[in-house]
Amino acid sequence: MFPSEIDAAIARLESQKSAWLNVGTQARIDYLKRCMTGVMAVAEDWAISACEAKGTDSVGEEWLTGSVTTLMTLRALIRTLEGRKAKIEQGIAKVFPDNLLDRFLWLGFRGEVLTESSPLNPPQFEPGISLVLGAGNVGSTPPMDLLYKLFAENQVVLLKMNPVNEYVGKFLEQAFEPLITDGFLQIVYGGSDLGSYLCQHPKIDSIHITGSHHTYYAIVQSLPQPKPITSELGCVTPVLIVPGEWSESDLKFQARHVASMVAHNASFNCVAAKLLVTAKGWKLRDRFLTLLRQEFAKIPSRKAYYPGAQQRYQAFLDRYPQAEIFGTRTEDIVPWTLIPNVQDNYALRTEAFCGVLAEVSLDAATATEFLDRAVPFVNEQVWGNLSCVILTKTNVDSAIAELNYGAIGVNVWTGVVYALPDFAWGAYPGNTSDDIQSGQGFVHNGYFLEQPQKSVLYAPFRIFPTPFWFADHRNLANFAKRAAELQITPTWSKFAQVIFEALRG
């Protein structure tokens, strides 16, 4: 974009930042509803374009990670503005499910946000311009982040698209046209030079970045004077396999689950499984790893579309000669790779951001022994504090209380916590600008909860029907489209269509 266009976008936002504070609740709801219509109108083309850019045919996955998740966020904000409130007892907000449709759609699931305070009602902020530096991997991240800044923090938004997925920008321009036309949102395009210019611009009041900690440090060091910065910067996501009496079908299901946590979006997710933590004394450990290898062998390789993947992958291969490769490496493909019996800290401290899963085994045989060792191990020795998964048949309440992660999935991948906008999304609080780890602050947070600490989603040990994030789902595109329609028209007839397509997965 030309500098004049950038400056015009900032000037437009500057002229409207005070006006946004005076937009009433009903008018805000109207904006959200019009944006839902806009998202649905571009959903199919958005998914197709994402598949073309990523070299995949998983249209259903792109529907879900793009338009469906965005629609869920819009719907959640509407319901909050209409008056819904989270039930909070002893610092725990019960956030999911909170309506009859979701209770039946997500049978056996429950979610909560640990928080220190009551909901903001209404949120009180000074007028300002928030710069959102969009993520390049998942299409719904930029719209979810900008919506939080607009509707929860009351700041108008300048969204800079990431060059990796700037093609999403044209769909967001169409979908969010009402907010853009009225000067409350502007979308701009460019590389790191533009990002640096915008971060240092005197009219930008705050910054939100989804990216790497390296980018965060570069921004902080470039600022002539400090600005409020919130950030989500990735994680070496650990998956804790709690030993227990698992049947052969249990082992197969959870092997599919873990492999899918790696394979989703070609493993270019900040919540992709990166470190498998097992118990050395668990009698079923070897069998589980064997089944996991079989699952990796079944999943087709995907294009490594995100920049730097080959270099990061090679660094892991150079470090670990025991790496087991499933598939053929090419210039475009990083094959699924398992690195068992890791003995050093490299895989614990380095986010691969490609299709690599390392495994470390702790000296333990029982669930109690394992959790006593695993919780301090991941808290203290594994880089990042955004996302952690526990697969277990036993009670893990004490472990949940002690885990220093912003999102915890019990028998469910934390990618689902990301996708459900009622949860607060961000790193565990306490990171400093000198040791930023997974970042600071929260987004999504559909209830506008103040000072969240961690979001926890609990699921049955065996989820039925096939979860939509599983790599071997056989009906994902149809399921995703019906899920989108349910957000537009949340009725029992639309619900029945979602269930029908889910059962065919």
Which pLDDT belongs to residue 125?
Answer: 64
What is the 8-class DSSP label of residue 269? Answer: S
Task: Give the angle 270-347-321 at the CA atoms, nearest 5°.
Answer: 130
pLDDT, tens digit, 9 for 90 and up, residues 248-258: 999 999 999 99
Identity of the residue numbered 48 = I
With cut-offs at 50, 70 and 90, classify the pLDDT of residue 123.
very low
What average pLDDT does range 300-311 have in this prediction?
98
Which pLDDT belongs to residue 2?
Answer: 83
pLDDT, tens digit, 9 for 90 and up, residues 38-78: 999 999 999 999 999 999 999 999 999 999 999 999 999 99
Task: Give the angle 20-443-231 at the CA atoms, nearest 5°.
Answer: 105
Residue 122 has pLDDT above 50, yes or no: no
How many CB atoms within 10 Å of residue 179?
23
Strands 336-339 and 443-444 come out as: unpaired
Which pLDDT belongs to residue 21?
Answer: 96
Going 451 to 151 to 199 to 50, the CA torsion angle's sign is positive
Q: Are 268 and 354 in contact (CB under 8 A)?
A: yes
Which class for 310: exposed (0-12), middle (13-18), buried (19 or more C-beta within 10 A)? Answer: middle
Closest CA to 302 of 157, 423, 137, 420: 137
Which pLDDT belongs to residue 473?
Answer: 97
Q: Are 454 and 406 in contact (CB under 8 A)?
A: yes
Closest CA to 337 of 268, 278, 259: 259
Q: Are 263 and 292 in contact (CB under 8 A)?
A: no
pLDDT, tens digit, 9 for 90 and up, residues 375-388: 999 999 999 999 99
Residue 205's SS3 state is coil
Phi and psi, residue 34, nearest 5°: -65, -35
B/e letters for 384-422, b = 16+ CB within 10 Å, e = fewer, are bbbbbbbbbebebeebbeebbbbbbbbbbbbbbbbbbbb
With cut-offs at 50, 70 and 90, classify the pLDDT of residue 3.
confident
- Terminal CA-CA length for the chain: 43
pLDDT, tens digit, 9 for 90 and up, residues 407-455: 999 999 999 999 999 999 999 999 999 999 999 999 999 999 989 999 9
Closest CA to 44 of 144, 195, 171, 187: 171
**Cβ within 8 Å of residue 85, ≥6 positions away:** 119, 121, 447
Residue 120 has pLDDT above 50, yes or no: no
Phi and psi, residue 206, nearest 5°: -150, 165
Which pLDDT belongs to residue 31?
Answer: 98
Closest CA to 47 of 165, 145, 144, 133: 165
Which pLDDT belongs to residue 425?
Answer: 98
Which pLDDT belongs to residue 124?
Answer: 54
For residue 266, is it left (φ>0), alpha (ψ between -120 and 50) or beta? left
pLDDT, tens digit, 9 for 90 and up, residues 224-271: 999 999 999 999 999 999 999 999 999 999 999 999 999 999 999 999
| Helical residues (DSSP H) of 55-140, grouped into ranges | 59-63, 69-81, 100-105
d(CA 270, CA 162): 16
Identity of the residue numbered 128 = G
What is the 8-class DSSP label of residue 6? Answer: H
Residue 392's SS3 state is coil
Which pLDDT belongs to residue 117?
Answer: 57
d(CA 237, CA 276): 9
Q: Are 348 and 275 in contact (CB under 8 A)?
A: yes
pLDDT, tens digit, 9 for 90 and up, residues 161-217: 999 999 999 999 999 999 999 999 999 999 999 999 999 999 999 999 999 999 999
Beta bridge partner(s), residue 291: none
d(CA 444, CA 446): 6
